[in-house]
Amino acid sequence: MHLRKRILVTGGAGFLGSHLCDRLLNKGYEVLCADNFYTGSKRNIVHLLDHPYFEILRHDITFPLYVEVDEIYNLACPASPIHYQNDPVQTTKVNVHGAINMLGLARRIKAKILQASTSEVYGDPDIHPQPETYRGNVNPIGPRSCYDEGKRCAETLFFDYHRQTQLRIKVARIFNTYGPRMHPNDGRVVSNFILQALRGEPITIYGDGSQTRSFCYVDDLIEGLIRLMDTPDQITGPVNLGNPGEFTVLELAEMVMEMTGSRLELKFHPLPEDDPRQRKPDITRAGKLLDWHPQVPLKEGLKITIDYFKELFKNGDL
Ligand code: NAD
Ligand code: UDP
């Protein structure tokens, strides 16, 4: 008879997953982390390896998994355009076959399951900010489609399992999140700019830099995921989780340069295909259902993230 809640985190060795494992262990739960280390790293979880209630399993979720847990957080999927476009067919597979496997597991063992969905389900949005009721403007055949449509199909599967089998589901639509343990080479705007500033290289601006993004600090995001998982069964989501502060890419570049005390050349590159012009979450629903309000302003979170990358840089880990 198990008294301690057992939780499976797929993608637990990744950026968000490793922070989630930390927080769940701190809450006193038993955590099973399943990861194939495609973009995740042992470095993210090495501090947990001796924890008596932490277990790591090298596993690819496109194959079935048989474990006994009470809750599943399904995070396994490469998240940055560079990584998810490297093998787009695998990206669709992780999202669709992976979701089917995890939903099948949840159904068999009667576990509650949360899906890490994304603001990319809104595509290049023509409604601003984006509420959960917005159905999106997504290109089904572009270079981002493997991820965007894969995540949309995963949401469909979650809701069909819920309707067909009364499975307890939670769907979080995560907006751009940053913080320590971001993959240094994943080409995301925050990690790119910080690394460029630390190396004294030109800052790469795609397009004219007027496109906007909203950046959520990782601790806030994890708090939102856990609150969503803990809601009563009738709450399924989708729920947007993100920080509504909106910044242009140029503003972010300025901020990073100021905070690292650098003044660098701005190098303009063409805007990648289907790059959304603007993105900002409407988080009214998260406020009402979860009483969730992001606490960490961009400057504060950037400082912690810059310090993290400085440390890697100093230790020769970059
Ligand atoms: P990440 O790349 O750091 O983590 C993903 C993890 O999944 C990695 O550890 C990777 O090795 C693992 N993985 C990939 N394919 C797998 C497979 N087939 N089987 C098992 N493990 C596999 O990315 P992240 O930023 O931590 O993102 C986590 C989740 O959150 C993803 O589902 C992503 O789509 C979603 N998300 C993230 C953001 C963000 O800004 N970081 C925004 C929206 C959604
Ligand atoms: N971007 C940029 N320079 C970079 C990396 C990204 O100007 O070195 C831009 C990118 O074109 C996009 C925004 O920053 O408009 C956010 O990109 P990221 O890949 O971080 O996230 P996503 O596009 O998935 O929101």
Q: Is the CB of 35 under 6 A from ligand 1?
A: yes
Please write down the long-range contacts of 225-228, taking CB distance under 8 Å and 24 or more positions apart.
225/16, 225/20, 225/73, 225/114, 225/116, 225/172, 226/20, 226/23, 226/24, 226/27, 227/290, 227/291, 227/292, 228/114, 228/170, 228/172, 228/286, 228/289, 228/290
In a domain, 183, yes or no: no
Share of the chain above pLDDT 90, in %: 94
In a domain, 47, yes or no: yes
Total domains in the fold of the chain: 1
Share of the chain above pLDDT 70, in %: 99
Cα 194 to the center of its chain, rounded Å: 19
Domain containing 67 — which CATH number? Answer: 3.40.50.720
Q: Is the CB of 75 under 6 A from ligand 1?
A: yes
In a domain, 211, yes or no: no
Q: Indicate the pLDDT class of residue 172, thresholds 50, 70 and 90.
A: very high
Q: Whose CA is nearest to atom 21 of ligand 2?
A: 188
The pLDDT of residue 27: 97
Q: Is the CB of 79 under 6 A from ligand 1?
A: yes
The pLDDT of residue 274: 84
Residue 136: pLDDT above 70? yes
Query: What digits encode the pLDDT tens for the residues 62-109?
Result: 999 999 999 999 999 999 999 999 999 999 999 999 999 999 999 999
Range of the domain at 56: 6-178+217-243+278-295
In a domain, 75, yes or no: yes
For residue 56, the ligand closest to its alpha carbon is 1
pTM listed for this prediction: 0.96
8 A C-beta contact, residue 29 and residue 4 = yes
Active site residues per annotation: 147
Mean pLDDT on 210-217: 96
Q: How many other C-beta atoms lie within 10 A of the C-beta of residue 26?
A: 8
For residue 123, the ligand closest to its alpha carbon is 2
Tokens 């309707």 sit at which residue? 163
The pLDDT of residue 122: 96
What average pLDDT is seen over the chain? Answer: 96
**Which of 261, 244, 240 lies closest to 298, judged by CA?**
244
The C-alpha atoms of residue 5 and residue 27 are separated, in whole angstroms, by: 10
Cα 15 to the center of its chain, rounded Å: 8
Mean pLDDT on 47-76: 98
The pLDDT of residue 2: 65
Mean pLDDT on 246-269: 95
